A and B are shown apart, each in its own frame.
Chain A
Amino acid sequence: MSAADLVTSAPSRRRPGHSRTTRIVIYGLLFLFALVYLVPLLVMVMTSLKPLDEVTGGNMFALPRHLTFAPWSMAWGEARIGVSDTRGISGYFFNSVKMVVPAVLISTLLGALNGYVLTKWSFPGHKLVFGMMLFACFIPFQSVIIPMAVILGMLGRIGVNLADLTGWSFGLGNATVNLVIVHVIYGLGFTTLFFRNYYAAFPSELVKAAMIDGASFFQIFRRILLPNSTPIIIVTVIYQFTNIWNDFLFGSTFAAGDTAPMTVALNNLVNTSTGVVEYNVNMAAAIIAAAPTLLVYVIAGRYFVRGLMAGAVKG
């Protein structure tokens, strides 16, 4: 974590005595790379604001001559997603919202509790438990996807029976619920990792003092740990939000048709358009799909980086 702090806050303390030409080269290179990283986004935005003939007939770097927001409203409300649906991506956007909010909240809460147990109430073998949960972060999802499909299929059938029996399926078989389950399970490793590393540095004396005062397990968590966890909660929420919102493999495997999340709908929109490729609509849809995570990045960039570093560098 401290390393990430350094990236984001520490001022560089070296001032090498570069010559004028060296400095020009350095700034030139940095500017060039900034351009390379920015241009695709700029082209996306400009393309989404042009009528189609300007996209197909013009230069992609040219500013729109006839500024239009029609591609945006097309993408949102009318574009053809898949074979039958011509209601745009709006529904899928909300599918993603409905999936991401509970999945992030549940996995974060469980991660916090796990981290608390693993650091402050550790038991013989806690290292093995943590190591096993840590490895779960790095498995290729391809190696669990078939059994998962089988199990979700079974849950779906149970749901149908329950619905016949009681009139309510208890959410079993619902694609959004399925995705929430999947994301919570495969996010547990990361959220536990984040909180464990954070709580490892949290002064145990405070916890010990509370124990002596007779505070219960949950009281200590709620009154002492949680109020001091804001930074790591933000990091975990951002990390989980970005990961789950951007997921494609699980979404495309476990949620079909109307219930698909945003990434799947975008891929369908872009790849099933027959005849003329409506690039302007595609780009508008892509920007809408990217908006939530980009917004998080703009608002909380500091924590965004920290989350990524914590997820990647720390083992």
Chain B
Amino acid sequence: MTAMTEREAATAMTRRKLGPSLRGYFQDWLPRLVLAPSFLLVLVFVYGFNLWTLFLSFTNSKAFPTTNLIGFTNYVRLWNWTFETDPPSNWYTALVNMGLFGGLYIFFCLFLGLLLAILLDQKIRGEGILRPIYLYPLALSFIVTGTAWKLFLDPRIGLENALHDWGWTSFHFDWVVDPKMMIYCVAIAGIWQSSGFVMAMFLAGLRGVDGEILKAAQIDGASTYQTYRRIVIPIIRPVFFSALIVLAHMAIKSYDLVLSVTGKNPGGAAELPSTFMYSYTFTRNQMAIGSASAVIMLMTIAAIMVPYIYSETREQNR
């Protein structure tokens, strides 16, 4: 409301100074003209392009985009692939892996993030040293993270070899070269990369809790565990929600982590919808199928993000 009156005030001012001249009108429209290029770019390159991809998903595009509409054929094919388990289709593998990776990634990031935040919240000496240690992996790209974990998990020179060297010869850990277990390695690297950030989010939430309430709980004789379980965690529930949104969104978009941890996803064992989309579009010349899978990814993210953005902007309204 105030912003509107400001603008009107400004308009009145310029009017008085300049009269109803061309320059006055230009001054009126200047703010909108400044914003217009950005908005136009977003309109075309985000909304226009999404519509374009949607259109392509209804065509029979192969290596190049075509305009031959074939209805829902591509979606029907993806739907059928969803249940093709013997041998599993790449799409089936992608969806199963998405569930495994997404579930583990979100759960462990939330769990470790909350655990570390609560531990750090106990008036810890050296918090200033510990906090950045938990958080720094986030500065690394997924390609760097993947490269590091590929070495770490390589049975010939990594963890398995090191433990053999120290005398634990029965230790066996070759997930990163086992097609069935690769996706778990991707999850491990992902959790290592992102859990520190979730910790930071929770810590911010914990530090925002009113100290008076906690003091009251202490006076009432609540133990630390009870205080967190009954009072603190319910208060910081919005943080859970935010972290969940961010993590779900990151999990769906994950692409480079798969490639770097597994060494270009051999045999499609660690396929995710993101890698499926890329390979069908750019290496298998099935652009229409790739577009359809991209649309499904977009719908999934929109289903998560739109209500979130809506509620956030409404809150700011008040």
Interface residues, chain A, CB within 8 Å of chain B? 2-4, 6-7, 10, 12-16, 18, 23, 26-27, 29-30, 33-34, 36-38, 40-41, 43-44, 47, 55-56, 58-61, 110, 113-114, 117-123, 126-127, 129-136, 138-148, 150, 185-186, 188-189, 192, 200, 204, 207-208, 211-212, 214, 216-217, 242, 245-249, 253, 263, 266-267, 270-271, 279, 282-283, 286, 289-290, 293-294, 296-297, 301, 304-305, 308-309, 312-315
A144-B46, A271-B260 given; 9 more Cβ-contact pairs under 8 Å: A2-B208, A3-B207, A12-B123, A122-B7, A123-B32, A133-B42, A140-B301, A146-B290, A290-B144
Instruction: Tell me whether A270 and B147 are in contact (CB under 8 A).
Output: yes
A215 to B209, CA, bound (A): 43
9 closest pairs, A vs B, by CB?
A315-B312, A246-B141, A121-B31, A248-B256, A3-B204, A297-B139, A122-B3, A6-B207, A144-B49
Instruction: Tell me whether B139 and A40 are in contact (CB under 8 A).
Output: no
Instruction: Tell me whether B309 and A15 are in contact (CB under 8 A).
Output: no
Instruction: Tell me whether B141 and A314 are in contact (CB under 8 A).
Output: no
Contacting A at CB under 8 A, from B189-232, are 192, 196-197, 200-201, 203-205, 207-208, 211, 214, 224
Closest to A153 in B: B64
Instruction: Tell me whether A41 and B148 are in contact (CB under 8 A).
Output: yes
Closest to B197 in A: A308
Given contacts A217-B27, A249-B256, A266-B147, contact A271 B41 (CB under 8 A): no
A101 CB to nearest B CB, Å:
17
* Residue among B30, B144, B256 with most chain A CB within 10 A: B144
Main SS at interface, chain A? helix
The stretch among B76-84, B155-163, B175-183 that forms the contact with chain A is B155-163
| Complex interface bits, B244-276 against A, C-beta within 8 A gives 1, otherwise 0 | 001001001101100110011000000001100
From B287, B297, B309, A140 is in contact (CB under 8 Å) with B297
Main SS at interface, chain B? helix
Contacts of B253 in A (CB 8 A): 140-142
A283 to B149, CA, bound (A): 11
* Residue among A122, A126, A200 with most chain B CB within 10 A: A122
Instruction: Tell me whether B139 and A33 are in contact (CB under 8 A).
Output: no
A118 to B309, CA, bound (A): 17
List 26 A–B pairs whose Cβ atoms lie within 8 Å, in order of A's numbering.
Answer: A13-B211, A18-B224, A26-B119, A27-B124, A37-B133, A56-B156, A110-B38, A117-B34, A121-B6, A134-B309, A135-B309, A140-B253, A142-B293, A145-B281, A188-B42, A200-B316, A248-B256, A249-B256, A266-B143, A270-B150, A270-B263, A294-B136, A294-B139, A313-B201, A313-B239, A315-B308
Instruction: Tell me whether B162 and A30 are in contact (CB under 8 A).
Output: no
Instruction: Tell me whether A37 and B9 are in contact (CB under 8 A).
Output: no
Instruction: Tell me whether A123 and B45 are in contact (CB under 8 A).
Output: no
A263 to B257, CA, bound (A): 12
Contacts of A189 in B (CB 8 A): 42, 46
The stretch among B50-58, B67-75, B85-93, B103-111 that forms the contact with chain A is B50-58
Q: Is B306 on the interface with A (CB-CB < 8 A)?
A: yes
Closest to B35 in A: A117
Given contacts A16-B224, A142-B278, contact A271 B264 (CB under 8 A): yes
A96 to B123, CA, bound (A): 42
Instruction: Tell me whether B211 and A60 are in contact (CB under 8 A).
Output: no
Instruction: Tell me whether A304 and B139 are in contact (CB under 8 A).
Output: yes
Instruction: Tell me whether A293 and B140 are in contact (CB under 8 A).
Output: yes
A192 to B46, CA, bound (A): 15
A143 to B304, CA, bound (A): 16
Q: Is B142 on the interface with A (CB-CB < 8 A)?
A: yes
A257 to B144, CA, bound (A): 20
Instruction: Tell me whether B204 and A114 are in contact (CB under 8 A).
Output: no
Contacts of A308 in B (CB 8 A): 138, 197, 200
From A36, A60, A214, B151 is in contact (CB under 8 Å) with A60
Instruction: Tell me whether A286 and B148 are in contact (CB under 8 A).
Output: yes
A242 to B157, CA, bound (A): 31
Instruction: Tell me whether A139 and B143 are in contact (CB under 8 A).
Output: no
Instruction: Tell me whether A305 and B313 are in contact (CB under 8 A).
Output: no
A247 CB to nearest B CB, Å:
8
Instruction: Tell me whether B151 and A282 are in contact (CB under 8 A).
Output: yes
Instruction: Tell me whether A263 and B7 are in contact (CB under 8 A).
Output: no
A185 CB to nearest B CB, Å:
5
A134 to B91, CA, bound (A): 30
Instruction: Tell me whether B143 and A138 are in contact (CB under 8 A).
Output: no
Contacts of A40 in B (CB 8 A): 137, 148-149, 152, 192
Contacts of B273 in A (CB 8 A): 142
Instruction: Tell me whether B10 and A138 are in contact (CB under 8 A).
Output: no
Contacts of A61 in B (CB 8 A): 162
Instruction: Tell me whether B7 and A146 are in contact (CB under 8 A).
Output: no
Q: Is B282 on the interface with A (CB-CB < 8 A)?
A: yes
Contacts of B32 in A (CB 8 A): 117, 121, 123
Contacts of B149 in A (CB 8 A): 40
Contacts of A305 in B (CB 8 A): 135, 200
A124 CB to nearest B CB, Å:
8
Given contacts A123-B32, A144-B46, contact A60 B157 (CB under 8 A): yes
Contacts of B34 in A (CB 8 A): 113-114, 117, 217
Instruction: Tell me whether A44 and B120 are in contact (CB under 8 A).
Output: no
Instruction: Tell me whether B242 and A313 are in contact (CB under 8 A).
Output: yes
